């Protein structure tokens, strides 16, 4: 708060204690004691708020030495250690001015977009807790071109035997496909998975990069949202619900497919290819 000089003189000259001044006028005791101490010393109650004299710029001969050291050495810390007449922040600031770094080019993300049916399939595992805290693991295969779902099934565990079983089911429903895209999980890294694929090409995404397999991650998200609507009692009940979701998903129009259904695009592509 801003106080007038007359108001400050009254408080200084009054015999009341600091507590009473605080209770009656609302001025803190510290400010009252500070004003009274200054009055005893013969100082003014308020000092003028002048800006302190600060050297905003370093001298030219110092700048030349810093520039010479930055050219020779790579880092600012090495230059600062050799010439400690300036703080480290000034050296960093001058390095940005004199030697501006070009932004690093971002790595291009590989997007797998195929024009033909069964040229590439996306697969992944998803986990959902159901009644009594039981784990419900589900796996699926999605066609890249038509976005049609195949072999959507729930299991107790996401182990190798269940992945191989899901792969067999996908082969039966699709009657064969050319390539599979999966993440770097242990299940997909095993030799048995590649042996059972046979002539089918196995493509793996980059580790810790779910963007490469975004289509599969999107389906995992949608399946979980669908199962949240129901009280899933067992894995058999989950399989019944997943069959329902599979039919609805394949008949539902998608914005990525220009608001056509996956079944429509799948049939149209098959007719063109035949």
Instruction: Tell me which residue of 223, 185, 232, 224 sits closest to 207, measured CA to CA.
Output: 185
CATH number of the domain to which 137 belongs: 3.30.420.10
114 belongs to a structural domain: no
Please tell me whether residues 36 and 169 are part of one structural domain. Answer: no
What CA–CA distance (Å, rounded) separates 119 from 143?
Answer: 8
Q: What is the DSSP string of 94-139?
A: HHHHHSPPPPPPPPPPP----SSTTS-EEEEEEEEE-GGG-EEEEE
211 belongs to a structural domain: yes
Burial 111-144 (b: 16+ CB within 10 A, else e): ebeeeebbebbbbbbbebebeeeeebbbbbbbbb
What CA–CA distance (Å, rounded) separates 92 from 27?
Answer: 45
pLDDT at 85: 78
pLDDT at 51: 52
Helix axes 235-251, 214-227, angle to 10 degrees: 120
104 belongs to a structural domain: no
List, run by run, the mean pLDDT of 10-residue segments along the chain (274 residues): 76 82 82 84 67 64 87 81 81 88 73 81 94 92 94 94 95 92 93 92 88 90 94 94 95 89 91 80
Bridge partners, 260 (sequence order): 254
Please tell me whether residues 182 and 264 are part of one structural domain. Answer: yes
pLDDT at 113: 72
Please tell me whether residues 232 and 196 are part of one structural domain. Answer: yes
46 belongs to a structural domain: no
Q: How many angstroms from the chain centroid is the CA of residue 91?
A: 33
Classify burial at 50, counting beta carbons within 10 Å of its beta carbon; exposed 0-12, middle 13-18, buried 19 or more.
Answer: exposed
54 belongs to a structural domain: no
pLDDT at 47: 61
pLDDT at 139: 96
Please tell me whether residues 83 and 9 are part of one structural domain. Answer: no
**SS3 call for 254:** strand
Q: Which domain holds residue 236?
A: 121-273
pLDDT at 165: 95
What CA–CA distance (Å, rounded) separates 249 from 252?
Answer: 5
Bridge partners, 124 (sequence order): 140
Q: Measured between alpha carbons, how far is residue 185 from residues 90, 144, 158 in Å?
A: 48, 20, 10
pLDDT at 224: 94
Please tell me whether residues 65 and 155 are part of one structural domain. Answer: no
pLDDT at 50: 54
Length of the chain: 274
Please tell me whether residues 92 and 156 are part of one structural domain. Answer: no
155 belongs to a structural domain: yes
Please tell me whether residues 176 and 263 are part of one structural domain. Answer: yes
Please tell me whether residues 150 and 67 are part of one structural domain. Answer: no
Give residue-wise pLDDT tens across range 5-23.
Answer: 788 888 888 888 888 888 8
Residues 6+ apart with CB under 8 A from 51: none
What CA–CA distance (Å, rounded) separates 211 from 205?
Answer: 9
Beta strands in the chain (DSSP E): 121-129, 135-143, 149-155, 179-182, 201-204
How many separate domains does the chain show? 3
Please tell me whether residues 145 and 260 are part of one structural domain. Answer: yes
109 belongs to a structural domain: no
Tokens of 182: 């999966």
Please tell me whether residues 163 and 210 are part of one structural domain. Answer: yes
Q: What is the pTM of this model?
A: 0.60
Please tell me whether residues 173 and 250 are part of one structural domain. Answer: yes
206 belongs to a structural domain: yes
Please tell me whether residues 134 and 256 are part of one structural domain. Answer: yes
């Amino acid at each position: 708060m801003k106080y007038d000089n007359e108001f400050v003189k009254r408080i200084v000259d009054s015999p009341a204690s600091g507590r009473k001044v605080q209770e009656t006028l609302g001025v803190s005791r510290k400010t009252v004691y500070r004003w009274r101490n200054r009055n005893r010393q013969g100082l003014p109650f308020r000092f003028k708020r002048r800006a302190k004299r600060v050297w905003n710029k370093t001298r030219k001969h110092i700048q030349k030495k810093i520039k010479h050291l930055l050219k020779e050495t790579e880092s600012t810390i090495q230059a600062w250690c050799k010439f400690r007449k300036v703080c480290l922040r000034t050296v960093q600031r001058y390095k940005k001015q004199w030697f501006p770094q070009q932004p690093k080019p971002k790595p291009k993300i590989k997007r797998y977009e195929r024009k033909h049916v069964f040229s590439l399939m996306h697969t992944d595992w998803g986990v959902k807790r159901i009644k009594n805290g039981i784990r419900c693991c589900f796996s699926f295969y999605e066609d890249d071109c038509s976005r049609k779902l195949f072999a959507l099934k729930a299991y107790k565990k996401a182990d190798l035997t269940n992945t191989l079983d899901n792969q067999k089911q996908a082969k039966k429903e699709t009657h064969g496909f050319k390539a599979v895209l999966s993440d770097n999980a242990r299940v997909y890294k095993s030799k048995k998975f590649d042996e059972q694929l046979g002539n089918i090409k196995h493509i793996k995404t980059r580790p810790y990069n779910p963007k490469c397999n975004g289509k599969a991650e999107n389906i995992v998200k949608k399946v979980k949202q669908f199962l949240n609507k129901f009280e899933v009692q067992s894995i058999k009940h989950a399989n019944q619900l997943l069959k329902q979701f599979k039919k609805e998903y394949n008949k539902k129009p998608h914005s990525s497919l220009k608001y056509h259904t996956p079944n429509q695009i799948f049939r149209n592509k098959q007719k063109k290819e035949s």
